[in-house]
Amino acid sequence: MLLALALGLLAPEAQAQGFGIAPTVLNINSRESLTTSATLFNTTNRPARFAVTLKSWTMVDGKTVLTDTRDVLVNPTTFTIPAGGNQILRVGLRKNPGNEELTYRVLVQQLPLEGSMAQIETQQPNGITTNLNLALGFSVPIYVANPSMKSAVKYTVERAGDDLTVKVTNQGNRHATFNNLAVTRDNQKVDIQSFAVLSGAEFTLRVPGLADKSGQLKLTFRNEDGVTVNDLISVP
């Protein structure tokens, strides 16, 4: 089971099944440094083994695309964390940043180790009980940018039966984040799962049940700088 940390849009520290990682978003200011770090911790009473890989992260047609890369190094790549212990992951960029933000993901996957993995007990039709081991994982975004880079979001709203679709296009050179997004129209609110739109990419979200309401669409969210934003959008 992979615990995908929702594009890194959760709390500064995330935890599941006795394992956690902090922070859940790695921001590198390319004017100051090309390195960063995160800490993986084990709060269980058993050791656990993990492997780490790094991927280049892009968005195509609104979907996440991860590809192999040599732009970034991580150390260590495999390790065992003792019960109650932790492991620091050090990340370093090998590529010279340009005029657009660079985006990557750190994938941390638990490896089999006797007695260390979470289990689910299932009952088979023949009455036999089976225990399934669950391998946990974390997906942590890396954003490499400088303070001059900004997102620039454009919205396009269309009707889809009783629902509305909102295409979010980011024309800037930095990612745009929509944390704790709430969409409101005519005093009816719909909560939407947090997401990010990378530089030059687009993402379409479906908002159920607001097509027959009146007035503008209001999007309230926390952006990539942690600032609360209220955007008003006209509905055709």
CATH classification of the domain holding 31: 2.60.40.10
Evaluate whether residue 120 is within a structural domain: yes
Verify that 33 and 56 share a domain, yes or no: yes
153: alpha, beta or left? (left if phi > 0; alpha if psi -120 to 50): beta
**What's the predicted TM-score (pTM) here?**
0.84
Residue 2: inside a domain:
no
Q: Are residues 133 and 169 in the same domain?
A: no
Residue 52 inside a domain? The answer is yes
211 falls within a domain: yes
Q: How many domains does the chain have?
A: 2
Q: Answer whether 106's CB lies under 8 Å from 139's CB.
A: yes
pLDDT at residue 114 above 90? Answer: no
| 93 within 8 A of 28, measured Cβ to Cβ | yes
Same domain, 128 and 163: no
pLDDT tens-place string over residues 46-90: 999 999 999 999 999 999 999 999 999 999 999 999 999 999 999
| 122, 73: one domain | yes
Q: Which domain holds residue 95?
A: 19-145
Q: What is the DSSP letter of 127?
A: S
pLDDT digits (tens, 9 = 90+) for 154-207: 999 999 999 999 999 999 999 999 999 999 999 999 999 999 999 999 999 999
User: Does one domain contain both 102 and 205?
Assistant: no
Residues 40, 111 within the same domain: yes
Neighbours of 201 (CB within 10 A): 22
Q: Residues with Cβ < 8 Å from 133, sequence gap 6 or more?
A: 112, 117, 118, 119
Q: Does the bond joining 23 to the residue before it have cis omega, within 30 degrees of 0?
A: yes
Clarify whether residues 79 and 110 are in a common domain. Answer: yes
